Structure 1
């Protein structure tokens, strides 16, 4: 990727040098950074966000059974991990390094120059980091994270991490309100657009993005006695109104260093294969109750997945890999972006080189609202949000976002095929017929490729319940250190924490061989 020098303060124990796709040469002494313009800091932070999700999604996608390795007995398919490795540690690095001190420097510059909109953005990005970090890692370093007097850091409990995400959201909303009060701009600000690869300076969309983080935070408390379904609905209603509001980072695909992670040029999914779980969700055997594969069950099927040469859709069952790999006729093909696709715009769905790096979407938020209202007992409200989610997800797959557009203009799925699907057995046809499994499995499809982290969070919130996630099966072989238990957390990043910060890890049991099977706070009652 293109060389990028990030600013780094006291994160010797929490991060290492990085490179990413936007040019920013910020300072010469990372331990004593000079003042930096906020606009120059924003592009590398946003690039780091999508990079973090991309890299770790490969492994978390295996935990969630969105895909699996083409080879048998892969440790991630067995819900394990690789000791002594930073694999599945990129989000840790993103939170403390790509965002981290860079966001603090944005705040420093914006405070000194009364750039309220950049203060809003900086706190929004910190909130996004803490929310995702809490979901993935549970315990995190918050209070001491940027203390320049320390080389080792004490962890904070997960309640503190989730609360920090909410606090940062509130600060962000306050600063955007102050920005509008100051200059009366609610839409595009040319000053903010200077460095904004997500929303091109549109303040209104940034405010909606902040509410999406609050919605995610509130929904993930669903197992707590304090859970408030009305709060989830409120946050969703103040968030994305359609797919034009979706949060995503631009990839221009001018070369491989600025190409979409899932595209054919980078080839990052070449060793993975679609799961049997996602195949059966899309082909009608689960949602429509078909006895056999019905390729018309979901019009997204040919966009998201690929058929074998014998025209049958197949997926891997963890941890068996592709059991048909020796048979060219029935072996499971690589993902959509790898079928001899060489040019931008010729692949499908988000497999294009110039597809945007998606962080959150309107349909997923609608499914969040639907689940919350379902749990409240408001079946009419839950059903309305559910249908909005299904329609939005079909629209998203039909018009995936590409460089220069938040919504795309591809129209992969005709209006007639969308209407046919909405009237099919794969979609609940009334509020009285709606089940929790309908909501969460449609959400699982809507999250395909771009957000395995949220899909895995849902599965863990419901303890991998096969009556809700129908078709999800516990791997036939689990990683030996699991002691028969399923995976629930990702271990902190090895090269920072298990090298430099071991005493702090021991305080909450993170040095145990089976620590990754510990149920995180957000899934507990």
Structure 2
């Protein structure tokens, strides 16, 4: 830092004051515009959202036992962390860099030009960032965030982060309603220029904002102030089908613009499907049977892979791959069992979200229905909870059957037959009455619906219930926990190493983030 300061001072000596004004104006870049159109800023912001979720899902998915490593005693399977590393710090980068000042720049263009829908989208994405980041990190920098005059920043606790979500959502709704009132358009061609989530559809943006509010309200389920009616209210104003799902377009033309889980990127190869998801999909958890029945859930062939002996197996905690010589637990199915080239025939061309051009999923209608089901169950409204639960299961089946991708490559559109869906809904894995519904039914069907893309939400659920295996009946506490854990399970992610543990150490020390077992501290949102 000193060498930079002295070089500037040296230049000031060499040039006169007028020369400095002409040639060394640090506020003007002669090679690029100082401001940018909002439509040019929004696409990389949205791409950054998907990137943040994708990259950190690799590690969070191991915490949540969505998948695991084929190698025994992997540190993430042990619910540990990687010291002096940015691993599992991508969402931090997303909130403060990918969104960060880019949203501020977006507003600098949008507000003077009265592009109220862009202003609204900026607040919606800020809210999404605070909600997602708050669930992972708990303590975050909110009040002093994006202040260019500061080099170090003080942290705020989770209550402040959660309140910021609500505030930004309300501002987003206010500005979006102002945009609609101004020109009476639901689909805005101006917003559509830069919007790769909803292509200018303001009504879907409003639904997404309400989905964030529903998630925010639900995640406070352990608080004395929890309000199930608010969750229901927000959910009812949110998505009404999978057509409303929040997702980001992936072109799939080459690795750089391809879906993270697609074959061109090959990111999912090191991860093996968990024993938890296998036993949910083969019916053993729901039926109590010791025998695998691969006919019960029609999603099983779309989501996970078989061994060569036609048995589905998954990794268990820190034990490693139970059948490593057979590559039986590879995700996705496309590249298991000797498949090495990209198939173009049905049903492989529509294998869930494993295509290069599958959209990057952020939130779904099914997920929101499970928000509502859980909240109403807690309230004691069994009938309302059951209706939402059935909606959630149906939505998940539809989501898997009609993958969120661009144009299907070949084959029929629907990957799962209507008859198979009907059989599942009337079978033993789905409760047939409100009276028999349990919270475990809701949470475990939600876990299936989140498979691959929703690891962050799955982990939030498990933590809210303190990893209760009466609710998450297939979750197995790791046989070996990371040494720094002191026998405790993981509850928070450490802030990003290279921005915080290098430059902001005193602030971290103020709330115990330097402690070896900091990642086992329970975050604000799950505490009473």
User: What does residue range 35-74 of structure 1 map to in structure 2 within 5 Å?
Assistant: 35-74=35-74
Distance in 2, matches of 1:153 and 1:461, equals: 29
1:230 aligned residue? 229
Distance in 1 (CA, whole Å) between partners of 2:90 and 2:328 is 31
Give the SS at the match of 1:273: strand
Aligned to 2:447: 444
Q: 1:395, 1:318 → 2: CA distance?
A: 30
CA distance in 2, matches of 1:101, 1:322: 43
Partner of 1:153: 153
Q: Distance in 2 between matches of 1:423 and 1:343?
A: 33
Q: How does 1:80-91 map to 2 (within 5 A)?
A: 80-91=80-91
**How has the CA–CA distance of structure 1 residues 449 and 300 changed in structure 2, closer, same or farther, with 3 Å as cutoff?**
same
Secondary structure at the counterpart of residue 145 of structure 1: coil
- Find the counterpart in structure 1 of residue 467 from structure 2: 464
Q: Where is the helix percentage greater, Structure 1 or Structure 2?
A: 2
The yes-or-no answer on 1:482 pairing with 2:479 is: no
Number of the residue aligned with 1:23? none
Partner of 2:502: 499
The ranges of structure 1 where at least 4 consecutive aligned residues each deviate by more than 6 angstroms after the TM superposition are none
Counterpart CA distance in 1 for 2:199 and 2:403 is 18
How many residue pairs get aligned? The number is 493
Task: Tell me what 1:213 maps to.
Answer: 212
Gaps in structure 2 of 5+ consecutive residues: 1-26
| C-alpha distance in 2 between matches for 1:341 and 1:100 | 39
Residues 152 and 500 in structure 1, CA contact (< 8 A), matched pair in contact too: yes
What secondary structure, in the 3-state scheme, does the structure 2 residue paired with 1:91 have? helix
TM-superposed deviation, 1:334: 3.9
How far has the Cα of 1:471 moved from its partner? 1.1
Give the TM-score, by structure 1 length. 0.92
Q: Secondary structure at the match of 1:248?
A: strand
Give matches, 1:65-464, under 5 Å: 65-186=65-186, 188-325=187-324, 327-328=325-326, 331-339=328-336, 340-342=340-342, 346=349, 348-403=351-406, 410-464=413-467
5+ residue gaps in structure 1?
1-26
Asked whether the equivalents of residues 241 and 362 of structure 1 are also in contact (C-alpha less than 8 Å), the reply is yes
Of residues 339-348 and 69-78 in structure 1, the stretch that sits farther from structure 2 once superposed is 339-348
Contact 1:380–1:431, Cα closer than 8 Å, also in 2: yes
Change (3 A) 1:95 1:404: farther
- Structure 1 position 139, deviation (Å): 0.2
**Helix, strand or coil: the match of 1:500?**
coil
Match runs of 1:13-32 below 5 Å? none
Q: Displacement of 1:346 after TM fit?
A: 2.4
| 1:33 CA drift (Å) | 7.7
Q: Deviations for 1:142-172, whole angstroms, at most 9, x for unmatched residues?
A: 1111111110100011100000011000000
SS in structure 2 of the partner of residue 321 of structure 1: coil
1:222-245 deviation digits (Å, cap 9, x = unpaired): 000110000000100000000000
Secondary structure at the aligned position of 2:87 is classed as coil
Give the distance between the partners of 1:334 and 1:355, measured in 2 at CA.
15
**Any idea what SS the aligned residue of 2:406 has?**
coil
Counterpart-to-counterpart distance in 2, 1:265 and 1:343: 13
Cα shift at 1:109: 1.1
State the shift of 1:265 in Å. 1.1
Q: CA RMSD in A?
A: 1.7
2: CA distance, partners of 1:333 / 1:210: 36
Q: Deviations over 1:15-44 (max 9, x none)?
A: xxxxxxxxxxxx9869x9822111110000
- Distance in 2 between residues matched to 1:182 and 1:282, nearest whole Å: 49
1:423-454 alpha-carbon deviations (Å, 9 max, x no partner): 11100110000000000000000000111000
> Aligned-pair distance for 1:418?
0.3
Any conservation in 1 of the 2:397–2:421 contact (CA below 8 Å)? yes
1:343 CA drift (Å): 5.2
Structure 1 residue 403 displacement after superposition? 2.5
**Deviation by residue 1:390-436 (Cα, 9 ceiling, x = unmatched):** 0011000000111369xx97311101000000011100110000000
Residues 443-485 of structure 1, C-alpha deviations (whole Å, 9 max, x = no match): 0000001110000000000000000000101000000000000
Aligned partners of 1:409, 1:99: CA distance in 2, in Å? Answer: 38
Summarize deviations over 1:372-401 as a string: whole Å, max 9, x none.
Answer: 000000000000000000001100000011
State the alpha-carbon separation in 1 of the partners of residues 415 and 29 from structure 2.
50
Deviations 1:120-154 (A, max 9, x none): 10000000000001000000001111111110100
Do 1:265 and 1:342's aligned partners in 2 also have CA atoms closer than 8 Å?
no
Q: Could you tell me how far apart the structure 2 residues matched to 1:165 and 1:434 are?
A: 32
2-side partners of 1:193 and 1:373: how far apart? 36
Equivalent-residue separation in structure 1 for 2:110 and 2:329 (angstroms): 51
Is the 1:267–1:338 contact (alpha carbons within 8 Å) kept by the matching residues of 2?
no
Q: Distance in 2 between matches of 1:309 and 1:257?
A: 33
Give, in angstroms, the shift of residue 108 of structure 1.
1.5
Distance in 2 (CA, whole Å) between partners of 1:33 and 1:140 is 32
| Whole-angstrom CA distance in 2 between matches of 1:357 and 1:399 | 15
Q: Distance in 2 between matches of 1:379 and 1:43?
A: 42
Change (3 A) 1:331 1:412: closer
Q: Distance in 2 between matches of 1:409 and 1:81?
A: 43
